């Protein structure tokens, strides 16, 4: 079974208390905490939010800061990036999050293969400190622009063979990054086949997804849209996820957050 939720608390709510209550009332099951400008939450607050989510049957995920670049050349930037990833994982642990995601880095005009090796090594160092039992799954996210590290195949190579790691597949990003591909049942099956090949069948039982409408140009992602205003074929994608019995969490990043999250859940439930 897939759970559906919003990227950040729902529109019109101002606190995790109200947000989680609204999610429950709308029949949604998940919430991603958006630490995109830094992890600014005390451990005691993270614990409270975790407890609240547990009481309401809401599964939590976390999104790390935008400033992360595990391929940064300057030592200060690299150290800050490592700190951001670690803080996101730690906050996720305290609140009992299921999975944490972030954009791993940039090519900085370097050879993609070399960048992959660097990012993999740095993530494995982070996991040596922050992995292990009781820790959330760590799942770097597929990115929406070809200039940003994070194609599906790159990320699968990064996390392959690693305990407690997976990939966060953002279907809108896959679609935008490839300038219009990844938008059919067949292409969705291809994505799942790739995941199984790299990570094994079991990976499909704890997936982390993002979905939203998206506007894109020749360079990839421009911005998110509501599903109704976008060409993303979410219905076909969800059909395949249902047919393949994929489990985990799908987070909606459309501007209308909870409305599209409900639309995704309803569509999924119909298959």
Q: Count Cα atoms within 13 angstroms, Cβ side, for 271.
A: 18
**Is residue 131 classed as helix, strand or coil in its secondary structure?**
coil
Closest-by-Cβ residue to Zn ion is 141
The residue (of 141 and 154) whose beta carbon lies closer to Zn ion is: 141
Question: Could you give the CA distance from residue 40 to residue 96 in angstroms, rounded to a whole number?
Answer: 17
Chain positions 141 to 200 lying near Zn ion, rule: CB under 5 A, are 141
Name which of 234, 98, 126, 129 is nearest 175 in CA terms. 234
Binders of Zn ion in range 34-53 (CB under 5 A) = none
Spell out the SS3 assignment of 95-123.
HCCCEEECCCCECCCCCHHHHHHHHHHHH
Number of residues that bind Zn ion (CB under 5 A): 1
State the minimum distance, in angstroms, from the CB of residue 186 to Zn ion: 25
Q: Give the tokens for residue 28.
A: 């949604």
Part in contact with Zn ion (CB under 5 A); list of ranges 16-24, 134-142, 147-155, 239-247: 134-142
Instruction: State the nearest-atom distance from the C-beta of 125 to Zn ion, in Å.
Output: 22
Which range binds Zn ion by CB under 5 A, 126-134, 138-146, 153-161, 254-262? 138-146
Q: 151, 111 in Cβ contact below 8 A? A: no
Q: Among residues 52 and 146, whose Cβ is nearest to Zn ion?
A: 146
For the bound state, the minimum distance from the C-beta of residue 253 to Zn ion, rounded and expressed in Å, comes to: 8
Contact residues: Zn ion, CB under 5 A:
141
């Amino acid at each position: 079974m897939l759970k559906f939720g919003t990227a950040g608390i729902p529109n019109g709510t101002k606190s995790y208390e109200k947000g989680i209550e609204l999610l429950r009332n709308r029949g949604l099951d998940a919430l991603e905490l958006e630490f995109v400008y830094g992890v600014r939450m005390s451990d005691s607050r993270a614990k409270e939010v975790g407890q609240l989510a547990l009481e309401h049957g809401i599964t939590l995920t976390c999104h790390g800061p935008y400033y992360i670049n595990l391929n940064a050349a300057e030592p200060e930037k690299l150290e800050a990036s490592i700190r951001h990833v670690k803080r996101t994982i730690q906050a996720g642990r305290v609140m009992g999050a299921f999975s944490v995601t972030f954009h791993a880095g940039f090519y900085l005009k370097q050879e993609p293969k070399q960048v992959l090796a660097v990012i993999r090594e740095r993530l494995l160092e982070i996991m040596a400190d922050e992995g292990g039992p009781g820790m959330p799954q760590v799942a770097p996210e597929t990115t929406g622009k070809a200039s940003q590290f994070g194609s599906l195949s790159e990320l699968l190579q990064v996390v392959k063979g690693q305990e407690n790691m997976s990939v966060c597949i953002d279907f809108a990003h896959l679609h935008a990054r490839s300038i219009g591909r990844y938008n059919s049942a067949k292409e969705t099956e291809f994505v799942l086949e790739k995941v199984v090949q790299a990570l094994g069948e079991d990976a499909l039982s704890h997936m982390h997804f993002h979905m939203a409408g998206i506007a894109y140009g020749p360079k990839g992602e421009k911005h998110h849209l509501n599903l109704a205003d976008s060409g993303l074929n979410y219905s076909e994608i969800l059909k395949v996820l249902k047919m393949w019995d994929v489990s985990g969490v799908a987070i909606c990043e459309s501007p209308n957050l909870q409305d599209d999250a409900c639309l995704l859940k309803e569509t999924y439930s119909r298959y």
